[in-house]
């Protein structure tokens, strides 16, 4: 038997991605180095791993908008006590968020992190 306890997200900008997952989503930084940040608690961790420079996407300095990676095969989902309240807070901070979806007792909404990764907030 196995247990999933960590997801690793490969990132282009360690500082902005750590700031997002720590500051906006409230994950706790457990450890950090130049190429690795470990966030989380309660038995589940999100690790940010810096992509080596030669493999990073080259972005134009004139492009400030991030394209959502809606065709990615991965979506990180975060449980929260109130998905709508958390969503509204992120929207006021300029984080791109879709409207909430209500499905029976479950409420969820998708957002986009600074590098275009789609994530989900949910409660139910």
Q: How far, rounded to the nearest angstrom, does the alpha carbon of residue 113 sit from its chain's CA centroid?
A: 5
For position 4, which CATH number holds?
A: 3.30.720.120
Whether residue 62 is contained in a domain is answered as no
Whether residue 69 is contained in a domain is answered as no
Q: Give the pLDDT confidence score for residue 113 in this predicted structure.
A: 96
Q: Give the pLDDT confidence score for residue 34 in this predicted structure.
A: 94
The CA-to-CA distance between both ends of the chain, in Å, stands at 27
φ, ψ for residue 83 (rounded to 5)? -65, -35
Query: Domain tally for the chain?
Result: 2
Q: Give the pLDDT confidence score for residue 59 in this predicted structure.
A: 66
Per-position pLDDT tens, the chain of length 124: 888 899 999 999 999 999 999 999 999 999 999 999 999 987 899 999 999 989 888 765 555 567 888 888 899 999 999 999 999 999 999 999 999 999 999 999 999 999 999 999 999 9
Whether residue 86 is contained in a domain is answered as yes
Whether residue 108 is contained in a domain is answered as yes
Whether residue 63 is contained in a domain is answered as no
For position 115, which CATH number holds?
A: 3.10.180.10
Which residues constitute the domain of residue 110? 74-124
- Check whether residue 115 and residue 78 sit in a common domain: yes
């Amino acid at each position: 038997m196995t247990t999933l306890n960590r997801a690793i997200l490969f990132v282009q900008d360690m500082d902005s991605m750590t700031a997002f997952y720590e500051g906006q989503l409230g994950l706790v930084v457990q450890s950090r180095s130049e190429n690795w940040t470990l966030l989380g608690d309660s038995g589940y961790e999100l690790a940010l791993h810096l992509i080596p420079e030669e493999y990073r996407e080259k972005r134009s300095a004139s492009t400030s908008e991030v394209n959502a990676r809606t065709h990615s095969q991965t979506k990180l989902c975060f449980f929260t006590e109130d998905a709508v309240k958390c969503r509204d807070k992120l929207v006021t901070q300029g984080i791109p968020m879709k409207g909430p979806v209500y499905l029976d007792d479950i409420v969820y909404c998708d957002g986009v992190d600074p590098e275009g990764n789609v994530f989900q907030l949910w409660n139910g």
